[in-house]
Amino acid sequence: MNSVRILHHHEPPYGWWFESPDLPGLTGGAGTYVESRARAESAARFHLECEADEQGRPAPDLTAVEFEHFVPASEAPALAA
């Protein structure tokens, strides 16, 4: 896996949450979009390491993983707030 798509959603007044179609079960949240991005990448790295361990595979080269962050167009105005 060379890239991981991460989808961010804004839920006023709670903040941001994320999910990934590439890593089923990956979800989390934060108060701001910047925090959500950082937490999403950290959670995705952890998910990939745990998945490899559970399957008896060597840990993936996480430096080679590219994270692609997406925000639905309808929620993009919340980025400017």
Q: How far, in Å, CA of 10 to CA of 65, rounded?
A: 25
Q: Find the domain containing 31 and state its range.
A: 3-80
pTM of the model: 0.89
Question: Given this model, what pLDDT does residue 76 score?
Answer: 86
Q: How far, in Å, CA of 64 to CA of 29, rounded?
A: 24
Q: Residue 72: is its pLDDT beyond 90?
A: yes
Question: Given this model, what pLDDT does residue 1 score?
Answer: 59
**Neighbouring C-beta atoms of residue 56, cutoff 10 Å:** 6
Indicate the helix (H) or strand (E) that contains 49.
Answer: helix 33-54
Q: Which residues pair with residue 19 across a beta bridge? A: 7, 27
The model's pLDDT over 4-40, given as tens digits with 9 standing for 90+, comes to 999 999 999 999 999 999 999 999 999 999 999 999 9
pLDDT mean across residues, the chain? 93
**Domain containing 22 — which CATH number?**
3.30.160.250
Domain count within the chain: 1
Q: How far, in Å, CA of 6 to CA of 73, rounded?
A: 15
